[in-house]
């Protein structure tokens, strides 16, 4: 027989108190998180100050950023410089300061050194390490970009909430966010928010998946 272990009410309450893993991802209307070549330029024209303010509010609930190697390298090149930009508006400057000061965890078996401040490299068994991090004291953990990490987390049931920034763009080809799904998952819509640019954020909470017995 296969399935998930039953959880007592006390255990369920404990799980609700654990730190959450939240995915914040820009996607196209047809579900791509990047162009076929990995480019993200399709979402730049839609970004504005209102959306920056929303990111700032999200960072208020977190203290840790989770990243894959590629996303880490891009952000490590950008955010330290952005924090020193004298022309940055107060919201963007605040985001840059927090991105630099927050704890960053990079999941990679090939990255040897991390130059961005407050960064730790993790390899090996991601699942057990994330479960351990969830039980540590602290605020939520956010994944920005990092499609391969997101997909690995999805397959292991490690994601608690999705913050999907759905852009009014349809790409002919691209990298799908939801790929190689191993089980059905029901999501609960927590809220939604529409921006004047046409972007809509959909906030979803994952529910415990149910694996039916095979006998």
Exposure string of 10-35, with b = 16+ CB inside 10 Å and e = fewer, is: eeeeeeeeebbbbbbbbbbeebbbbb
Instruction: Pick the closest to residue 160 from 146, 138, 173, 142 (CA basis).
Output: 142
Helix (H) or strand (E) holding 17: helix 9-17
Q: Which pLDDT tens digit goes with each residue over 39-65?
A: 889 989 999 989 999 999 999 999 999
User: Which residues are bridge partners to 161 per DSSP?
Assistant: 22, 205
3 state SS of 192: strand
pTM here is 0.83
Q: Which pLDDT tens digit goes with each residue over 115-161?
A: 899 999 998 788 888 889 999 999 999 999 878 888 888 888 899 99
Query: Cβ(150)–Cβ(70) under 8 Å?
Result: no
């Amino acid at each position: 027989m296969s399935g998930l272990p039953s959880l007592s009410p006390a255990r369920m309450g404990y799980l609700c108190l654990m730190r959450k893993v939240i995915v914040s991802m820009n996607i196209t209307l047809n579900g791509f998180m990047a162009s076929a070549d990995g480019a993200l330029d399709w979402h730049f024209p839609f970004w504005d100050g209102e959306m920056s303010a929303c990111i700032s509010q999200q960072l208020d609930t977190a203290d840790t950023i989770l990243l894959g190697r590629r996303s880490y390298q891009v952000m490590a090149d950008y955010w330290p410089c952005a924090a020193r930009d004298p022309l940055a508006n107060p919201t963007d400057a605040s985001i840059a300061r927090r991105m630099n000061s927050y704890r960053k965890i990079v999941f990679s078996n090939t990255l040897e050194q991390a130059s961005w401040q407050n960064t730790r490299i993790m390899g090996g068994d991601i699942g057990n390490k994330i479960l351990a991090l969830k039980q540590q004291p602290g605020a939520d953990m956010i994944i920005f970009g990092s499609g391969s990490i997101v997909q690995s987390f999805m397959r292991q049931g490690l994601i608690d909430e999705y913050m999907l920034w759905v852009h009014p763009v349809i790409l002919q080809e691209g990298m799908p966010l939801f790929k190689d799904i191993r089980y059905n998952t029901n999501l609960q819509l927590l809220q939604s928010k529409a921006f004047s640019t046409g972007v809509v954020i959909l906030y979803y909470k994952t529910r415990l998946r149910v694996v039916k017995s095979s006998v």
